[in-house]
């Protein structure tokens, strides 16, 4: 049963609904256990060997992950990879200001420090807060000098909010109120995010001209999606609202496609079409079409992956095809509720309206070493309401989806 469950996990790749393609690699691994099922996409050369090695390691239970799938270097919290959606979005901003990043890391490290039992954790937490406060006082000029001219007022207001929140944080520590720490920590980090957002100057790169006929999100946008369940779930819930941040700084075409469809009301009334414990997926319209049809033609978008350290995304190729499968995307599949474009298994540029949220419940998606990074286009993260994803079942309905912030960043084709 253990081996069979691993085969089923491998078969859970987020390919488009209706696709009947099958991976030869999965057929080799699982043909004797159950019917062949689609893998992530065609893999070749070294990566195929690494993937099969990972499968074998999973089946025998305990063998090491191959070197070619070892966790790549990535910005971490407390020495580990970033798994918090809001933190991932902060690190993904196209800025380079060491003082504010230091403050951010000190505040994020508090999550690890709180794992120490009892009141002993408050000592390290206090040190982090004091370091963040002293850095803000000492490096305030360097922080404010980095603000984009058009965002300076918002940036200065965010700095004041951060100062006030840090003062409140110290009061919480003085009172020894450990339970209040995560709340005030998040308040501080929200202010840090606003400070960092004010440092972004314009849009960081030119999207290739060949994609000018596609919607593009030149910045970020926030989408609220309301769901209704077909029956009562945990705590008798019959639905709820989920909030997502779309990152056009690193995936302007992918995020723009989704934002445009939200704006059109495309997802309103659509059902959840896949919910298997690995992903939740939707976006296939009724009928034979696999995506959004505009003027009688299926609108497709290219695969789009921004690599950490690059200035422009890699388009139309997986990172494996580009010879860079060891490198790290700026938007990785690290967080529960990672939002990405679904596509055909063997066609990198077949994305359209189908999207999926990763649940990160599978052994195939270890943070920093999973089989999805660089192969599917991540364009956002769920920042509120993510637990709803665990409750979703096929047939549940999207009541409505709307852009609640950042619609001005959506650039439509002329």
Together in a domain, 358 and 284: yes
Q: Among candidates 232, 234, 254, 230, which has minimal Cα distance to 244?
A: 254
Q: What is the mean pLDDT of residues 283-299?
A: 96
Together in a domain, 249 and 378: yes
Q: What is the DSSP letter of 327?
A: S
Lowest mean pLDDT among 25-34, 189-198, 257-266, 282-291: 25-34
Indicate if the pLDDT at residue 39 is higher than 70: no
Together in a domain, 190 and 273: no
Q: What is the pLDDT of residues 295-317, one digit of tens each?
A: 999 999 999 999 999 999 999 99
Together in a domain, 10 and 100: no
Q: What is the pLDDT of residues 329-341, one digit of tens each?
A: 999 999 999 999 9
Residue 229 lies in a domain: yes
Residue 320 lies in a domain: yes
Together in a domain, 356 and 389: yes
Residue 398 lies in a domain: yes
Together in a domain, 142 and 173: yes
Q: Among candidates 284, 295, 259, 253, which has minimal Cα distance to 356?
A: 284
SS3 call for 163: helix
Q: What is the pLDDT of residues 70-105, one digit of tens each?
A: 223 323 333 357 889 999 999 999 999 999 999 999
Q: What is the pLDDT of residue 414?
A: 87
Structural domain range at position 369: 209-411
In this structure, what token pair is assigned to residue 93? 């901003």
Together in a domain, 268 and 392: yes
Indicate if the pLDDT at residue 275 is higher than 60: yes
Together in a domain, 189 and 217: no
Indicate if the pLDDT at residue 61 is higher than 60: no
The Cα 280–Cα 274 span in angstroms is: 5
pTM of the model: 0.81
Together in a domain, 186 and 292: no
**53 to 49, 68, 72: CA distances (angstroms):** 6, 10, 18
DSSP string over 2-32: HHHHHHHHHT---BPTT-----HHHHHHHTT
The Cα 149–Cα 142 span in angstroms is: 14
Together in a domain, 116 and 47: no
Residue 137 lies in a domain: yes
Residue 151 lies in a domain: yes
Higher pLDDT, 267 or 62: 267
Confidence bin at 65 (pLDDT 50/70/90): very low
Together in a domain, 267 and 382: yes
Together in a domain, 150 and 46: no
Residue 82 lies in a domain: no
Give the chain's domain count.
3
Q: What is the CATH number of the domain that holds 289?
A: 2.40.100.10
Count of CB atoms situated within 10 Å of the CB of 48: 16
Lowest mean pLDDT among 63-67, 174-178, 208-212, 240-244: 63-67
Q: What is the CATH number of the domain that holds 103?
A: 1.20.120.290
Residue 35 lies in a domain: yes
Q: What is the pLDDT of residues 332-381, one digit of tens each?
A: 999 999 999 999 988 999 999 999 999 975 455 665 567 899 999 999 99
Q: What is the pLDDT of residues 225-245, one digit of tens each?
A: 999 999 999 999 999 999 999
């Amino acid at each position: 049963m253990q081996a069979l469950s691993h085969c089923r996990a491998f078969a859970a790749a987020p390919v488009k609904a209706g696709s009947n393609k099958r991976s030869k690699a999965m057929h080799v691994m699982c043909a004797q256990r159950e019917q062949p099922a689609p893998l992530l996409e065609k893999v070749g050369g070294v990566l195929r060997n690494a993937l099969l090695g990972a499968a074998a390691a999973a089946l025998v239970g305990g063998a090491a992950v191959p070197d070619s799938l070892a966790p790549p270097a990535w910005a971490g919290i407390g020495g580990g990879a970033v798994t918090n959606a809001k933190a991932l979005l902060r690190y993904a901003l196209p800025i380079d200001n060491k003082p504010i990043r230091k403050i951010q890391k000190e505040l994020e490290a508090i999550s690890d420090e709180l794992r120490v039992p009892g009141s002993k954790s408050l000592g390290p937490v206090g040190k982090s807060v004091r370091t963040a406060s002293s850095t803000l006082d000492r490096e305030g000029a360097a922080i404010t000098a980095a603000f984009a001219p058009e965002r300076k007022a918002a940036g200065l207001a965010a700095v004041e909010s951060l100062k006030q929140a840090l003062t409140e944080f110290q009061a919480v520590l003085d009172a020894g109120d450990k339970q209040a720490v995560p709340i005030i920590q998040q308040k501080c980090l929200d202010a840090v995010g606003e400070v960092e957002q004010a440092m972004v100057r314009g849009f960081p790169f030119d999207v290739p001209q060949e994609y000018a006929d596609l919607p593009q999100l030149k910045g970020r946008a926030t989408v609220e999606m309301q769901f209704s369940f077909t029956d009562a779930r945990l705590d008798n819930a019959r639905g709820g609202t989920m909030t997502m941040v779309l990152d056009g700084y690193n995936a302007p075409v992918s995020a723009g496609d989704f934002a445009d469809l939200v704006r059109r009301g495309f997802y309103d009334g659509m059902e959840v079409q896949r919910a298997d414990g690995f992903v939740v997926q939707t976006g296939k319209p009724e009928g034979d079409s696999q995506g959004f049809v505009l003027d009688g033609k299926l609108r497709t978008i290219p695969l789009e992956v921004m690599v950490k350290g690059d200035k422009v995304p890699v388009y139309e190729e997986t990172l494996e095809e580009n010879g860079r499968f060891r490198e790290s995307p700026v938007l990785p599949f690290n967080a529960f509720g990672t939002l990405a474009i679904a596509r055909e298994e063997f066609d990198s540029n077949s994305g359209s309206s189908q999207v999926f949220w990763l649940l990160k419940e599978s052994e195939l998606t270890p943070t920093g070493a999973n089989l999805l990074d660089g192969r599917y286009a991540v364009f956002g993260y769920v920042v509120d309401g993510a637990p709803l994803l665990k409750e979703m079942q096929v047939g549940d309905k999207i009541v409505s989806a709307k852009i609640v912030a950042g619609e001005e960043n959506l650039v439509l084709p002329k």
